[in-house]
Chains A and B, each alone.
Chain A
């Protein structure tokens, strides 16, 4: 190891705040992009599934409001 103790590793002879700030922001942003991208895909899959699921359900039971087809007389 390039440092004598864990304390020296954290302080880095006064350069610690600069180095650790960079690593913190790097992991924060990369983590956020990865998490956000995963969530977006999950959201899109759920949305698509709802869309495909809703079609047969609607055909079987018109939940809530009901609509009656009116067939006007052709006379």
Chain B
């Protein structure tokens, strides 16, 4: 266990593992996402109450799910940065923060467009929507703080503290639909219960969530590799790698 943990700290080891995993993550992810979205758009039955506008769920739920998961992963990496000073953890936070921001924006945008035919409004200052907007601002804060401090170690520590402070927002997003009276419907998937929707609806949704997770994995590996190349540019292994690679 500790050996894996120590190996994970090595940028060179990670670079090699990421290169092996990346084609699988991308192509399996794209296949699952295309299957899930195609099924959801054309073959899943209509919702008896919302009609066809509910088909937005197949991109809204995966985006919102990922937006929150990415933040939790960043918080774990932030803790690792502060406790063990692992460089790769900070590389992860810096690499995925922009992806998390895009996913949060997508969750907000698709939610707003879905809200118009369903609730009759694009936006309302309701607990779930407002806490998701705060998540977007937290992502912007992490990106801006990381870019503002040029010293690598100080930047890593400051970003880790901000990410850990912001993680309090995650349970607020999760339980906002239960704690407050909101327009937003409760969670679609719960670990302890069977989904309330029929299999023709939740199976494509699950495929889309898994597909987007894998595509995020590919993006995280790719962006971490780029960050490693910048940081470790003076080391011999990066110089040899750069000379050997064509892309």
CB distance from B52 to the nearest CB of A (A): 4
Min CB distance A3 to B, Å, is 7
Contacts of B94 in A (CB 8 A): none
One of B42, B60, B113 near A21 (C-beta < 8 A):
B113
Binary B-proximity of A28-39 (CB < 8 A = 1, otherwise 0): 011001100110
- Give the A-B contact count at a CB cut-off of 8 A: 96
In the assembled complex, which residues on chain A have CB atoms less than 8 Å from the CB atom of B59?
22-23, 26
Residues A2 and B116 in contact, CB atoms below 8 Å apart: no
Contact mask A11-23 → B, CB, 8 Å, 1/0? 0111110110111
Residue pair B51, A25 in contact (C-beta under 8 Å): no
Question: Of A19, A22, A48, which one neighbours B109 at CB under 8 angstroms?
Answer: A22
Asked if A33 contacts B52 (CB within 8 A), the reply is no
Complex Cα gap A42–B247 (Å): 6
Asked if B110 CB lies within 8 Å of chain A CBs, one says: yes
Contact across chains for A1 and B219 when beta carbons are under 8 A apart: no
Instruction: Verify B42–A3 contact, CB threshold 8 A.
Output: yes
A residues near B (Cβ < 8 Å) are 1-3, 9, 12-16, 18-19, 21-23, 25-26, 29-30, 33-34, 37-38, 40-42, 44-45, 48-49, 51-52
With A2-B45, A3-B42, A22-B60 already in contact, 7 other A-B pairs whose C-beta atoms are closer than 8 Å: A12-B53, A15-B52, A22-B109, A26-B106, A26-B110, A37-B226, A41-B225
